[in-house]
């Protein structure tokens, strides 16, 4: 008989069951940014920095209709692009990054978003989180784990990592999980963070993984 898992069990023992329960609770867990191709996902992910996915999804339909490819973004009037993405915040820096990234995509990659971590990291505004989003959700390539604010919070609450730096949290999650689980793990934690494990008021009473969580209250 296998030992009963509890919130005191080692992270490596708890995580497979956590993933199993989250899959049941959130069968629709996938990338929440609306997109039709790798370029749209790249731009949407850049826009999502310090902005909700809901807000980005309100902006991108008109944005992608106006700028349908990397060439169009690269050649856009900067002020017009800034105005188009203004409501996502930090619009000047985001517009600059989008244009510089798209310019490199046109010149270096023939207008196509590259599909390797190394190449994506050469694009303006792209760090590991953005690269992982694009690789995992558009190309199906598991090169790492997306660590956004939700994944960071849940990783700490679930005692999957003691780190606060996203890159270090990512390494911990990668070490705990088989590569073929990396893409799903981030999407599941993100959905659970949005729907149940809120930053200010987690709903532990309704949480399917509370018995495996050292931070759960009211048990």
Active site residue 94: no
Catalytic one of 53, 143, 148, 184: 148
Active site residue 129: yes
Catalytic one of 53, 129, 152, 184: 129
Asked whether residue 177 falls in the same domain as residue 205, the answer is yes
**Predicted local distance difference test score (pLDDT) of residue 210:** 97
Angstrom distance (rounded) from CA 117 to CA 127 = 9
Considering the domain boundaries, does residue 114 fall inside one?
Answer: yes
Mean pLDDT of 34-57: 97
In the chain, the number of structural domains is 2
Considering the domain boundaries, does residue 93 fall inside one?
Answer: yes
How many CB atoms sit inside 10 A of residue 73's CB? 25
pLDDT band for 3, please (50, 70, 90 cuts).
low
Asked whether residue 58 falls in the same domain as residue 118, the answer is yes
Mean model confidence pLDDT for the chain: 96
Task: Answer yes or no: is pLDDT of 219 > 70.
Answer: no
Asked whether residue 61 falls in the same domain as residue 115, the answer is yes
- Domain with 92, as residue range(s), is 38-138
- Which of 113, 138, 163 is the endpoint of a domain? 138
- Which of 86, 119, 138 is the endpoint of a domain? 138
Considering the domain boundaries, does residue 190 fall inside one?
Answer: yes
- Which of 138, 165, 198 is the endpoint of a domain? 138
Asked whether residue 129 falls in the same domain as residue 68, the answer is yes
Asked whether residue 159 falls in the same domain as residue 189, the answer is yes
Task: Answer yes or no: is pLDDT of 2 > 60.
Answer: no
Residue located via tokens 């919070």: 153
Asked whether residue 74 falls in the same domain as residue 161, the answer is no
Considering the domain boundaries, does residue 200 fall inside one?
Answer: yes
Q: Report the predicted TM-score, pTM, of the whole model to 2 decimal places.
A: 0.94
End-to-end CA distance of the chain: 25
Asked whether residue 93 falls in the same domain as residue 120, the answer is yes
Asked whether residue 49 falls in the same domain as residue 67, the answer is yes
Residue pLDDT, tens place only, 144-184: 999 999 999 999 999 999 999 999 999 999 999 999 999 99
């Amino acid at each position: 008989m296998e030992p009963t898992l509890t919130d005191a069990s080692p992270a490596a023992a708890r995580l497979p069951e956590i993933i199993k329960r989250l899959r049941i609770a959130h069968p629709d867990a996938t990338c929440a940014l609306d997109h039709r191709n790798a370029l749209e996902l790249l731009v949407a992910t850049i826009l999502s920095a310090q902005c909700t996915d809901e807000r980005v999804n309100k902006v991108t339909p008109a944005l992608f209709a106006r700028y349908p490819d990397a060439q169009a973004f690269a050649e856009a009037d900067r002020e017009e692009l800034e105005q188009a993405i203004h409501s996502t915040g930090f619009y000047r820096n985001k517009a600059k990054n989008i244009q510089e990234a798209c310019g490199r995509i046109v010149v270096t990659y023939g207008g196509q978003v590259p599909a390797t971590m190394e190449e994506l990291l050469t694009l303006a505004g792209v760090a590991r989180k953005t690269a992982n989003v694009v690789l995992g959700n558009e190309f199906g390539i598991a090169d790492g784990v997306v660590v956004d604010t939700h994944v960071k919070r849940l990783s700490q609450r679930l005692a999957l990592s003691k780190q606060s730096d996203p890159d270090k949290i990512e390494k911990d999650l990668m070490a705990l999980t088989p590569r073929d689980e990396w893409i799903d793990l981030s999407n599941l934690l993100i959905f659970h963070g949005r729907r149940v494990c809120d930053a200010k008021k987690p709903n532990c009473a309704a949480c399917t993984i509370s018995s495996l969580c050292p931070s759960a209250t009211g048990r």
